[in-house]
Amino acid sequence: MQTNFIPEKIVQDSVEKILKRYKISEEKAEEFFLEEAFKNKRFMENVLEFSERKNFGKWREYRKVIKKTKKNVYYFLRQYKHEPEEKIKEKFSELRKALKKEGKLEKTLELHKELLAMHISSKERTESYKNFYEKIFRVTGKPESVLDVSCGFNYFSILFMKLEKLLYAGTEFKKEFVEEMNQYFLLIKNYSEIKAKGFLLDLRERDFETRNELLDLNKGKEFDVAFLLKLIPVMEREKRGSTNGLIEAIPAKWLVLSVSKESMTKKEKIAFKEVKIIKNFIKENNLYLNTKIDFENEIVFITKKE
């Protein structure tokens, strides 16, 4: 896009305002601002005249452009929680080639980190995954079976669990996500003793049929540990009371819940609100809170069914 009709200083100042609020690249912020600015005919007709005024930031048309731009950025970040599919497929192809060459899962650590960084939820954990699982498993004991609910890209972190043998089940609510997950599990099958499978599970529907399938996978037993990372606050924000009855659909002994300290889209501290939601969830579901662990970007609650 061309910026000939908008003074460069205004573009730069507007980009800075967006970057102070949202976790987005400078280039993308500029793209969103210019797109909205060019749509506003009155803004474009008068921007040069108003740009000379000291109170330009209070100009009604400019405020409208900035407000709409921020709204668009927010919905973009909420919708696109991961990198474009093409980039993900390219990185997955790199992993496939590296595994074929190296012959060991452990030698593809950096590629796994890069894949984890492609999803907004797992990105902030990429440098602390080893420590993350070590601290959790000190409380729960080393699990032989793990259930990862609404896992996003977290299944790429199996390598960091440092478990020689593991039965892992991941769930997601879209068929294409589950298919991608199972492609990865098929790939690593010949390079580890990890048995893994992805399941389609829409938590809004409380699909007890899937619960039975999960139990069948684990020979009728509950999973040792279930991860519900950043899940509860998200569900409650989208619809209050949406987590009612959720526990019954999760066949596991230990439930590991977590909250973000900072919004995944906005640059704002949200730990206080998120912790309050988790504490209410623990109380309402009669869970026993064993341990709370404070990580750099996340707070983890290790709970057990009473």
**pLDDT of 181-212, one tens digit each?**
999 999 999 899 899 999 999 887 766 788 99
- Per-residue pLDDT tens over the stretch 240-253: 778 888 898 899 99
Q: What's the rounded Cα separation, in Å, for the pair 243 and 216?
A: 24
- Per-residue pLDDT tens over the stretch 89-115: 999 999 999 999 999 999 999 999 999
Q: What is the pTM of this model?
A: 0.78
Residue 202, phi-psi category: left (phi > 0), alpha (psi -120 to 50), beta (remainder): beta
Q: What's the rounded Cα separation, in Å, for the pair 114 and 156?
A: 10
pLDDT at 56 over 50: yes
Residue 14, phi-psi category: left (phi > 0), alpha (psi -120 to 50), beta (remainder): alpha
Q: What's the rounded Cα separation, in Å, for the pair 172 and 179?
A: 10
Q: Which of 136, 139, 180, 190 shows the shortest CA–CA distance to 156?
A: 180
* Whether CATH 3.40.50.150 fits 122-305: yes
Domain-wise residue ranges, the chain: 8-79, 122-305
